[in-house]
Amino acid sequence: MSTTEARDTRADQQARTDRDETDKERLDRNMTELVGELRVALPGVQVLFAFLLTVPFNQRFSQVTSFDETIYLITLLSTAVATALLLAPSALHRIEFRQDDKAHIVAVANRYAIAGFAALMVAVTGAVLLVTHFLYSDTTSYIATVAVGLLLLFCWYVMPLTRRARHGNGS
């Protein structure tokens, strides 16, 4: 058992005590919360993906540098990966539905979501770099990109992981 899984187990035990819920009730609640979070994230991913799919058909796309083309490719692919990972919990749930394996579904879906947000962070940062590098100076585009990347990293990973490490119980 990994350290994270041990921490999750302790957190789950504490949640059962605090909430007075059975294992199945906790898994149902965890799945419902995860699905709710994904419902918030997916429209943004879809809009970004749609935007990226239209970019090459813009007349000015022929003016981009090889650097911009590389950033476009990385951004497009990371958006596709984010889409796949953030939709994977739904597919997993649908395929394993009624197999009485919700603990596995919730654990794997959580990992998919965390990885999906990492891919989304790369995609959003890449989109900022792509647009700002095309419109502004190198300095402005790099500053904007680093600022957005750090903001996403801080809000999506540093703050939650720091709190989790401080409290030591996964809460």
Q: Whole-prediction pTM value?
A: 0.77
Q: List Cβ<8 Å contacts ≥24 apart for 156-159.
A: 156/117, 156/121, 157/118
Residue 133 pLDDT exceeds 80: yes
pLDDT tens track for 38-77: 777 778 788 888 888 888 778 878 888 899 999 999 999 9
Number of H helices, E strands in the chain: 6, 0
Number of domains in the chain: 1
The pLDDT of residue 171: 45
More confident residue, 64 or 10: 64
- Of 74, 158, 167, 82, the closest CA to residue 117 belongs to 82
Range of the domain at 50: 3-167
Q: Is residue 140 within 8 Å of 132, Cβ to Cβ?
A: yes
Report the C-alpha gap between 83 and 102 in whole angstroms. 22
